[in-house]
Amino acid sequence: MASRVKFNVQSFPRPPLLERTGRHLRVKWNDKLIADTKEAYWVLETHHPPTYYLPPSSIRVPLSPTARSSICEWKGQATYYSIKNDGTNSVVSNRIWLYNNPTEPFVAIKGYLSFYVGPWDCFVDNEKVEPQPGDFYGGWVTSDIDGIVKGRTGNLDPV
């Protein structure tokens, strides 16, 4: 049996790299498909697992903008969204974001959406992912990620 390629987060670049991934990404919430695509980008940054950006065409449910925004030193200003779970009538806010006017190196992800892991389940090539530790970063941790991941207790700012 062939072993999977491992990605060491310590070898990821800074400033971050944006590229098409070709991996199959899905987001499900209580068995409802929220997003599904093989047309995503990933951002690879030192000490971070990949952050995935999904095309708007992959989103299967309505999203509503929230008042929250944030600034990324690399990508620019992000805006956030809420989503309603029809099955439970619950609303989750500020766990989905996008860049409407990203900086030049990231213009390809204009309008693409990124999801924090949870409360929904996220999958990469049918593997359920774990969230990047902490609640600040939105990386998706899979079994092919190696190295010191930023956000774990004791390594919020690795050198």
Ordered structural domains, the chain, with CATH: 7-146 (2.170.150.40)
Identify whether the C-beta of residue 79 lies closer than 8 Å to the C-beta of residue 97. yes
Instruction: Identify the pLDDT of residue 153.
Output: 58
Query: pLDDT tens digits, residue range 22-81?
Result: 999 999 998 899 999 999 999 999 999 999 999 999 999 999 999 999 999 999 999 999
Quote the pTM value: 0.92
Q: What is the CA radius of gyration of the chain?
A: 15
Instruction: Identify the pLDDT of residue 5.
Output: 83
- Which letter does DSSP use for residue 150 in this model? T
Residue 148's Cβ-count burial label (10 Å; 0-12, 13-18, 19+) is middle
Flag whether pLDDT at 155 surpasses 70: no
Identify whether the C-beta of residue 137 lies closer than 8 Å to the C-beta of residue 144. no
Query: Which percentage of the chain shows pLDDT scores above 70?
Result: 92
State yes or no: cis peptide before 119, omega within 30 of 0. yes
Cα 124 from Cα 35, distance rounded (Å): 12
